[in-house]
Every structure is written in C-alpha cells, then in structure tokens.
Amino acid sequence: MSANHEGLGLRSVPDAGRKPAWLRVQLPTSPNFFRVAETVERGGLHTICQSARCPNRTECWSERTAAFLILGDVCTRHCAFCAVAKGRPLPPSAEEPARVAEAAASFELAYVVVTSVTRDDLPDGGATHFASVIRELRRRLPPVRVEALVPDFGGHEEALAAVLAARPDVLNHNLEVPETIYPRIDRPRENYGRSLGVLERAGRAGFATKSGLMLGLGETEEDILRTLRDLRGASCRSLTLGQYLQPGRDRAPVARYYFPEEFDRWRARSLDMGFLAVEAGPLVRSSYHAQRMHGGLSAAAPVGPCAT
C-alpha cells in the first residue's frame, strides 16, 4: 500500500508503466461528434479538446459541447505536462470572436467554455481579445452562459479586470498541481501564489470561481489537502480533479495511477471542505460537465473561507 494514502484505506498503487483499464476511451460513433468536428474545422477554430488531447472529446462532442481555444494553438510557455504546441504564436485574429460565436450558435449551445493558450508575448496577455469573444457570444446568443478558463495573465490585475468586465458566468483558472510539484512541470513555484491571486480577486469581485488539479505526478496526500485548503482560502467555489496522463515521451512521466474510488473519496473530502460543486474521476478535465457544475453553483449560497 502506498504510504502517502494510508489514511484513505486504499489498495496498492497501480503500475505507472501500464495504463489501467478504466482509462480506456470510447471511439466516436455519434453524428453529433462529426458535426462538431466539421464545424470547428470549417470555422478555422481550435478547441482545447483537440490541442490538449482530452480523453473526453468523444463524449463531449457527441453531446454537442466543446471548449473553444482562442488566441491560436501555440503557447508561449513550456509546461512539462501539457500537449499544447509551444513556440512563437501568430497575432490574434480579429475575426475569431465572430467565428467562435457563429460556431456556438450553430451548435445551439446554452453553455460555452472559452479558454486560451498563454500569450506572454502580448502586452495584456490576450485579455482584451478574451473579453471580445465573451461579448460577441452574448451578442450572438443572448441567453448563453459563458465560462472563462483563463491563464494567469502574468499576474497583471488590469488584464484580469478586462476579462471580468465582460461578465463571464464562471471564472476558471487551474492550479494544475500542488505547489511542491511545480518544479516537476517546469513552473516557477511563485506562480502558485499568482494563480491563487487570480481566483481570490475574481471571487472578491463576486464571480463564481473554479479551479482544477491533475493527480499522479508524485504528490502526497498532504500536498493535495494543503492545495484544497489554499483554494478554499481563496474562496474557490468549484473544483475538478482528474488523472494526469503523459501526452508524449518528452513530457513529465506519470508517477502513479489513481483508482476510481480514490477520486470518489477526494470528491467527498472536497465537498466536506466547502466546495459547492466537484467533478472527480480518472478522465475528468477542466470543462467536463461544466454546465452541470454551474447549475450546482447557481443553486447554492455564496462561499466563504475554508471550513476545515
């Protein structure tokens, strides 16, 4: 039994060298899947579903949901866990907000997740463009709910304020991993506090906030608990917990695979700590069941600091 999970009474750790059966994904058969794929390609759009090789793409696209990736598909950072291409991105497309809104309208979406690569090459990190996409979605689809899954904008408060001024329904920003794991994914440890600051400022401004963690990069139980406490201390309302999957041989290796029942236990633990909506499972990613999670937030009272 893994020493760092004795408190949860779990079985022995699966072999990190072999992907367990519960991580197998289904092949697409639904006409909706192919319709979404065609619409994305025809509109010259990107989705994080494709760029990050999300294991839930078949399920989500078959249900006519997709997370739009704006500001191109090339990231200026080099995080060791991520499948998104790295390098020098192209300038933002002035037509992109309209194309995203048109695609969302063609899907007749009631809930849209918009995310982006990190654009440290832009003075505002792409925040103005992000806000333009949100506003165009609302203009084209007045009833739509929008979740903005944002980068940290280099910690610049005015950039975050520009996105918040467009009034997203949910402000999502992922911590990704506990602070102790940041060096393993080629992130400066100080970025951890910066990310908590993004969530705290959005929560202080009255926005529903959300974050996500990947498990399986070598974190301990105490690492996870401390991270959950930090998120609650920043008034984070909702949470996703999923299994890290190595996207390529040049990316950080998996240290362990978590059993599905371990995710169930972490979900229960997170709810006990005061999170209002939690999705936890081996294949869960940031935008998984996002509309359902927002429904849970909308029905609940505002959240205060960490309860435990």
pLDDT tens sequence across 204-217: 999 999 999 999 99
Say yes or no: 227 and 244 in one domain: yes
Radius of gyration for the alpha carbons in the chain, expressed in angstroms and rounded: 18
Mean pLDDT of 92-103: 93
Say yes or no: 159 and 180 in one domain: no
- pLDDT band of 21, cuts 50, 70, 90: confident
Closest CA to 101 of 45, 24, 48: 45
Mean pLDDT of 237-261: 90
Say yes or no: 185 and 154 in one domain: no
At which of 135, 168, 201 does a domain end?
168
279-289: b or e for each residue (b if 16 or more CB lie within 10 Å)? bbbbbbbbbbb
Say yes or no: 202 and 178 in one domain: yes
Say yes or no: 47 and 139 in one domain: yes
Say yes or no: 95 and 186 in one domain: no
| Percent of the residues in the chain that have a pLDDT greater than 90, as a whole number | 54
The pLDDT mean for the chain works out to 83
**Is residue 147 assigned to a domain?**
yes
- For residue 245, the enclosing domain spans 174-301+304-308
At which of 114, 135, 168 does a domain end?
168
Order the strands of the 170-172 sheet from edge to edge: 46-47, 67-70, 111-116, 145-149, 170-172, 208-215, 238-243, 277-281
**Is residue 279 assigned to a domain?**
yes
pLDDT of residue 232: 97
pLDDT of residue 8: 42
Which burial class, exposed, middle or buried, applies to 177 when counting CB atoms under 10 A from its CB (0-12, 13-18, 19+)? Answer: buried
Say yes or no: 102 and 73 in one domain: yes
Say yes or no: 109 and 178 in one domain: no
Question: Does pLDDT of 170 surpass 80?
Answer: yes
Say yes or no: 164 and 204 in one domain: no
At which of 144, 168, 192 does a domain end?
168
pLDDT of residue 201: 97
Say yes or no: 206 and 95 in one domain: no
Mean pLDDT of 121-132: 96
pLDDT of residue 54: 55
**Is residue 3 assigned to a domain?**
no
- Residues 32-52: pLDDT tens digits? 665 666 666 666 665 654 544
- The number of domains in the chain is 2
- Using a cut of 0.95, tell me whether the model's pTM lies above it: no
**Is residue 8 assigned to a domain?**
no
Name the more confident of 223 and 286.
Answer: 223
Say yes or no: 161 and 32 in one domain: yes
